[in-house]
Chain A
């Protein structure tokens, strides 16, 4: 069966350090992998998208890697700040499913000052 797995345990990190989140998937052949941020009581906000033929993508303090052999994406927040505290979701499409995205369960990040 198809699975998207993110670490369900919260990640506690000290301000200024790099937070690294993992997204593993099985039985998918995604064309795109996306990362979203969700704050309590709010809808998810799109952060980054990486294509299957891309290894790495950066946006300001965010970096995403995508290894289709390992079926894994890593999401890094460098120089983390308390305002980065949120739940981060990865999402995959499937080449045969058009624009539909399937989301992982998310990882909560808490950045302590």
Chain B
């Protein structure tokens, strides 16, 4: 039973390009979350999705960032026109509907903007 799969593990983008980060949740998990972690800092919530629905996007910057979790396929976090400040580790997590199971995290995508 594969865990949460994120790809790519490392992504280098030039300023102004687009970054697409993918996350496949654990089998049987219907909730997906994206977090951002800057070096030496904690995990900052970005967005919470269920299939075809954004439940909470209160942590997403208003511009350039978007997320989706389509009926088929992985969840995508998309960052348009990247800037150096977007460089960070982006973690995806999934959980079942049952709230007392905890999250399962992926290994993260490390985005570097040059």
Contacts and interface: CB of A to CB of B under 8 A. Distances in A.
Main secondary structure of the interface of B (DSSP, over half): strand
B42 A44 contact: no
Contacts, number: 62
A95 to B, nearest CB: 10
Contact of A44 (B31, B45, B56, B91): B91
B45 A99 contact: no
Nearest to B106: A43
Interface in A3-56: 31-32, 34, 36, 41-46, 49, 51
Contacts of A31: 99
Given A43-B107, A44-B105, A99 B31 contact: yes
Nearest to A48: B102
A44 to B, nearest CB: 5
